[in-house]
Amino acid sequence: MKKHLVLITLFSILLVSSCKEKSKESLSKDSNEPIVEVNDVRRVEPPFWWTGFKNTSLQLLVKHSGIGSYNAEISYPGVTIEKVHTADSPNYLFLDLKISETVQPGKFNIVFSKDSTSKLFQTYELKAREQKAEDVIGFNSSDAIYLITPDRFANSNPNNDSFEQLNEKGIDRKNNYARHGGDIEGIASHVDYIKNLGFTAVWPSPLLTNDMPSGSYHGYAITDYYQVDPRFGTLEEYKELASKLESNNMKLIMDQVANHCGLEHWWMKDLPFKDWVNYQEHYEQNKANWSSEIVKRSSHRRTTNQDIYASKTDKKEMTDGWFVKGMPDLNQRNPFMAKYLIQNSIWWIEYLKLGGIRQDTYPYPDKDFMSDWAGAIMKEYPNFNIVGEEWSSNPLLIGYWQDGQKNTDGYDSNLRSTMDFAMQEKIVAGLKNKETWGTGLKEIYVALANDFHYKRPLDILVFPDNHDMSRIFTQLNGNIVDTKMALSYLATIPRTFQMYYGTEILMNDFDKPGDHGLIRTDFPGGWNGDAVNAFTGENLSIEKKEMQNYISKLMNFRKHSKAIHDGKTMHFAPEKNTYVLSRFSDDETIVHILNKNEQPFDLKLDRFNELGLDGKTLKNVFTGETITWSNTLTLNHKGSYLFTTKL
């Protein structure tokens, strides 16, 4: 009798177990029973996907101990596994999926089987897209972008300042290279401030996890490409920030890094392939004693991308070398790495409804990959925009990276926008240098004349400074008038405009010019107990309030000026310490004047008859006063003047 009871019990257990397995494997969409959601596998990336992409392929990175010896199956209408790839590490599989155009959103289980008794189940989801691809609109020349270093902007949630499981713990506002506690909520809670200044887009430096032992605040040493750093907040808060900006007719630009990751990235502990990162063998042989002296660093000779005489050695040292010892250089020539990075960018665009991507260190990765990367994104989102960082004073190099450029090597980047470091440099030089035949305002004039080289000058991104260079106020030796001249000129030329947080209150790095930690100073008022609050104006100095007001007038005027957004441009060679530039459309003409004369000066206007302004009334954007464009215009002080025919 006891024997019968034991057999019955064993049979019952097997029956229940069998039912559970069948339930796990109940994958058919035709079944009315929901699947049993199971997450046996350590990591699958992308973590979910969407239906309705033009590219119907999807490659899943699967990470789990010993997963390389498993087979994979999916039984879901419209989803098929085309190929299963093993890696050099036994702990990875890469699954090539085909997703039909008619597939329905839903969840299904991926079944990994080693034998009849060893099975793992992983629930995966295809989501419905929330908007049409053509409705994903990228930033353009009508936008003014506000760049933020999130850790230094505002700390609205002190509860997320530190986490025990992360390498760098705590905050120390007295240390310019430590965490200070700024977060996503801090940005979201001050969207109104940014909007009232007249900005239409926000670009935070990377918000993804940087689990590095030190210096993790800046965000450029990413250790997980699908995870928001918990010290900044949550994935949901990131999405809420994007939604809040969208509801205010503003755009979120994501700072991405395809060239390198952080040394503490999870895959550095178990690299999937022998060529996942550049100089991988050298790293693995020396990682026990890894240092700045041992690492093979990039030469930073970015001209090797265009140089028709460049040696293979120079090209390799540039693209394959690590940026710094703590940032492994990713090998985009590995097809699995390439696919991973492309899908990651598309995932974030779709999830956050991004208004653009800023791609860090654009000339450093494999340039053929970068063309494929940008091309894949623009194919899915034809109205999107990407700006690449090319830190060069040479317009030839800047123009090379813009799509449509007729490069002699036939290279087309598929990149709509690049960054105008050349213009930034010349504006600073032109304002600081004395007026001679070839220096001073002439340097700025010639810099704009170089636009003949650019395919679309309007799409080039211009800026007074950024998170990697001295503040514009510092560069111009603390001269407020020159700082205003630089800003007004940059805001009116045919470009997309970007400004770094704090420029509106004359933030500077005088104590240690060029020091990154000092450049990225805390924004006053972003922390409880701050003596000065620049958000409200409390205890803010008169000159800083006046600069805030200046920026607000300039940016809010720019926001509504079609002539600046996409109008035609005409400028006149500088004479007698003045430089006149005009932008004009069917319904508006604006005139911008840079005046270096220290004493009142009468500018004769007959030289500018081509503008067709004779007898017309124009308004001074900054003072509200009106003038009649006639014989002369009295410029009472050194500085910038901005006039519009819109009264």
Nearest to 366 by CA among 437, 318, 325: 318
Can 389 be counted among the known catalytic residues?
A: yes
Listing DSSP states for 449-468 in one string gives HGGGG-S-GGGSEE-S--TT
Sheet containing 386-388: order of strands: 417-418, 386-388, 356-359, 251-256, 201-204, 144-148, 496-500, 461-462
| Residues whose CB is less than 8 angstroms from the CB of residue 568 and which lie 6 or more positions away in sequence, other chains included | 583, 584, 585
Which residue of the set 168, 185, 360, 482 is catalytic?
360
CB 477 within 8 A of CB 431: no
Which is catalytic among the residues 389, 403, 482, 509?
389
Could you give the C-alpha distances from 235 to 230, 254, 588, in angstroms and in order? 9, 13, 43
> Distances in Å between the alpha carbon of 462 and those of 13, 435, 511?
69, 24, 26
Tokens of 631: 């014989």
Summary count for the chain: helices (H), strands (E):
16, 26
Rg of the chain in Å (alpha carbons): 28
Tokens of 343: 């899908």
Paired tokens of 143: 């936008």
**CA-to-CA separations, 189 to 157, 159, 354, 524, 534, in angstroms, rounded:** 11, 16, 19, 15, 14
Under DSSP, is residue 591 helix (H, G, I), strand (E, B) or coil? Answer: strand
Pair of tokens at residue 77:
């209408």
The owner of tokens 């008859």 is 609
Residue 171 carries which side chain, given as an amino acid letter?
Answer: I
Question: Sheet holding 626-628: strands in order across?
Answer: 568-575, 578-585, 588-595, 639-644, 617-620, 626-628
Alpha-carbon span 507 to 446, nearest angstrom: 29
509 is catalytic: no
Q: Which residues are catalytic?
A: 360, 389
